[in-house]
A and B are shown apart, each in its own frame.
Chain A
Amino acid sequence: MTYPLMLNEQYFLVTGASGGIGQAVCRALVATGATVFMGGRNEQILELLATELGDNAIPFCYDVTNQEEVKAAFQHIQQHVGQLSGLVNCAGIMVDAGLAMTRMTDVDALLDVNVKSTFLHCQLASRLMARQKRGNIINLCSVVGEKGSVGQSAYAMSKAAITGLTRALSKELGPVGIRVNGVAPGFIDTQMTAHYDDSKKAALMDTISLGRLGQPDDVADAIVALLSDQLRYVTGQILHVDGGMQV
């Protein structure tokens, strides 16, 4: 897709940048002229992506659940750039297991990666944005968190928390000029859903009005639109990017 340079000379941090949706977001942002700090744990993928995208893509290898590493990442941005136009919280994990089959260690991991790391990134990013009285935060929610799904109660819980966080922060940070929105992808064709068997994929396909699986680019394009000034009066919204999926 060709993008106008609507985010030219703006700086963004994308977490989960080595994942399917995260990579697509980085590509889309760089295509708009933005500079992207690509946060993720897989250094090899981040380096490859940086090579592909050029100087405006900066690999940032750190663990989003490690508070000191997160703080160091923001300190780097503060000292080298001094500002942040936007944060896209893509980092996330999924656990597919029924209620009786879900270990508490899995619940802890979901809350650490999906919820607590998102909260911490919002907290630190908002401080960088507050000085400009302008900024933009996008959190990755999920249709599962919005509507529920059998066998994904823990994952749904973690994503519903992100929806609540997004709505609350939109109210708290609005007066400082920071917009906070969520994007709720449906069934997106990424590594996270690669383990679904054919029968599960077929069953999910039957629920999608547009009749095809979502692609990471579908989500990335929606995120770029929300980050742009064209949607400058939109905050506190959870945009479903799910092809009309009914879970």
Chain B
Amino acid sequence: MSNQQKLTEAFSQGLGIESKQVTDALTYNTIPEWDSTAHMILIAELENQFNIMLDTDDIIDMSSVAKAKEILSKHDISFDA
């Protein structure tokens, strides 16, 4: 599974949404499914998919799919353009 697929899977599972809804533009609190409770589950899914542990500051900053990619890149996780 590519990193992009892992990311899509984590967002889809974490937020309980369709994979096609997972785009870079998807932003926290703009859909009912991405609330503070779902955010915690999303973080758990991302940490599990990529086998990492995120810092609290990064969890707070993770306000969109695009931002998630930026944060994950700090853990040497890259996404093809």
Contact = CB atoms under 8 A, between A and B. Distances in A.
Q: Do A and B originate from a single complex?
A: yes
Interface of A: 71, 74-75, 78-79, 82, 123, 126-128, 130-131, 133, 175-176
**Interface on chain A toward B: helix, strand, loop, or mixed SS?**
helix
B53 A74 contact: yes
A131 B45 CA distance: 6
A127 B56 CA distance: 11
B41 interface: yes
Contacts of A128: 44
B53 A123 contact: no
Contacts, number: 29
**Interface on chain B toward A: helix, strand, loop, or mixed SS?**
helix
Given A78-B47, A82-B48, A130 B53 contact: no
Given A128-B44, A131-B41, A176-B41, 10 more contacts: A71-B53, A75-B53, A78-B47, A78-B48, A78-B51, A126-B40, A130-B40, A130-B43, A130-B44, A133-B41
Contacts of B44: 127-128, 130-131
Contacts of A74: 53
B30 interface: no
A32 B41 CA distance: 29
18 contacts: A74-B53, A75-B53, A78-B48, A78-B53, A82-B48, A123-B56, A126-B40, A127-B40, A127-B43, A127-B44, A127-B47, A128-B44, A130-B41, A130-B44, A131-B45, A176-B37, A176-B40, A176-B41
The residue among A71, A74, A78, A126 with the most chain B CB atoms within 10 A of its own CB is A78
Contacts of A71: 53
A117 to B, nearest CB: 15
Contacts of B45: 131
Contacts of B43: 127, 130
B59 to A, nearest CB: 9
The residue among A82, A128, A131, A175 with the most chain B CB atoms within 10 A of its own CB is A131
Contacts of B56: 123
Contacts of A78: 47-48, 51, 53
B16 to A, nearest CB: 11
A80 B10 CA distance: 20
Contacts of A176: 37, 40-41
Nearest to A83: B48
B42 to A, nearest CB: 9
Contacts of A126: 40
A190 B41 CA distance: 39
Contacts of B40: 126-127, 130, 176
A126 B41 CA distance: 9
A82 B47 CA distance: 10
Contacts of A79: 51
A130 B44 CA distance: 6
A29 to B, nearest CB: 23
B61 to A, nearest CB: 16
Closest 8 CB pairs of A and B: A131-B44, A130-B44, A130-B41, A130-B40, A75-B53, A175-B37, A127-B44, A131-B48
